[in-house]
A = this chain, B = another copy of it.
């Protein structure tokens, strides 16, 4: 080893040790455990996928997870096929598709309300570690459900239960109430280049 290389290595070690000290201090300062409310919003790809990744994490610890899909239609999709096998998984498809698919506002509202009643069960069950309210934001935007119905159930949930809400244009009240908020920006999307939804990626 040259003297230069040895000096560079020492410098790297000193710099990273200092960084580690700062990181460790921040980690030590964060010592609270609590059930989180996460909101994953924005127009970019990855909102539901991200929630499903957290489902995998939860099931990986042998804990229970519940997913309520408020908009997606009845089509069988990969993630449901995969997770539904797990005895710790509850998977409910509550919606029948986007407004322009169903073209029937009354039916959409009825489906949303029926779904929400099921979600409320999970939100009051301390044995459920993670509740995913997939595409719930649209129900607020379309006024199928009011924040006055949604927020109290979320706030009154078991102390260690995590909730993930996904969907575009999350209402300010959801963002305000959340512990963690990620906004996914659509920088580029294959669909706009004429590529259709791909198995394993989009469905």
**Which residues of A are in contact with B by a Cβ distance under 8 Å?**
9, 12-13, 16-17, 19-20, 23, 26-27, 29-34, 36, 38, 40, 42, 44-61, 63, 65, 77-83, 99-106, 129-130, 162, 175, 178-191, 193-201, 203
A191 touching B53 in the complex, CB below 8 Å, given contacts A58-B200, A103-B16, A103-B17: no
Copies in the complex: 2
Identify A196's interface contact among B31, B55, B104, CB under 8 A: B31
Pair A196/B27 contact, Cβ less than 8 Å: yes
Chain B residues lying within 8 Å of A16, measured Cβ to Cβ, are: 99-100, 102-103
Pair A32/B185 contact, Cβ less than 8 Å: no
Pair B44/A59 contact, Cβ less than 8 Å: no
A144 to chain B minimum Cβ distance, whole angstroms, is: 12
Identify A50's interface contact among B49, B82, B190, CB under 8 A: B49
